[in-house]
Amino acid sequence: MICGLDISTSITGITILNNNGVVLMNDYWDLRKCKTFYDKISFAREKIKELKAEYKIEQFLIEQSLQAFRPGFSSAKTILTLAKFNGTVSWLVYDIFGLEPEYIGATTARKTCGITVPRGTKAKKVVMQYMHDNHSSWFKIILTPKGNPKPYFFDMADSYVVAYAGFLNARRRETFNIS
């Protein structure tokens, strides 16, 4: 089984795939009500323990956190907080499962899944359209009163792309007998 995580300090998306690439779970952890950074870590630890009790996960893929400041996007403080949380959740995965997570960049994961984001288009919107077009049988988007997807669906979609990219990469390694 493969678990893909789209880690954020507000909402973390999670997807678990079986060895055939079939979705067993596509959900999110809502961390917005956790008051402190350490509350968020405690919450994540309990969720990872629940995963351990319920699934025999053999591989974790985590979307790589932003690695550079880009004007007009996240602030340096936000990037550092996210990287710190990403690292802590990575450690929790290792500590609880005994597995070293693998990291994959969002762009690489999308490309691996065959998702092309045209220049000037928001990637999250393109991924959401991909999920709607290709996985609407199980990915049921709930809209806000204004007609937009509820925020956690973006994280759930991203976690699926991360997990599925990991699945495809594992298949390629098996095909070519590469370890």
Strand-pairing partners, residue 102, are: 61
Q: What is the pLDDT of residues 126-138, one digit of tens each?
A: 999 999 999 989 9
Alpha helix segments (H runs only) across the chain: 37-54, 76-97, 106-112, 123-135, 152-175
Give the global pTM. Answer: 0.89
Mean pLDDT of 59-80: 71
Burial of 40 (0-12, 13-18, 19+ CB in 10 A): buried
Domain that holds residue 109: 2-175
State how beta strands 59-63 and 2-6 pair.
parallel
CB 6 within 8 A of CB 155: yes
d(CA 115, CA 164): 12
The per-residue pLDDT for 176 is 63
| Sign of the alpha-carbon torsion through 76, 78, 79, 83 | positive
Check whether 59 has a pLDDT greater than 80.
yes
pLDDT at 157 over 80: yes
The residue-averaged pLDDT of 141-159 equals 93
CA distance 168 to 148: 30
Using a pLDDT cut of 70, give the percent of the chain over it: 92
69: confidence class by pLDDT, cuts 50, 70, 90:
very low
Joined together, the tokens standing for residue 108 give: 């690489």
Tens digits of per-residue pLDDT, 1-54?
999 999 999 999 999 999 999 999 999 999 999 999 999 999 999 999 999 999
3-class secondary structure, 23:
strand
Q: Which of the pair, 175 or 110, is modelled with greater confidence? A: 110
The CATH number covering residue 135 comes to: 3.30.420.10
Task: Specify the number of domains making up the chain.
Answer: 1
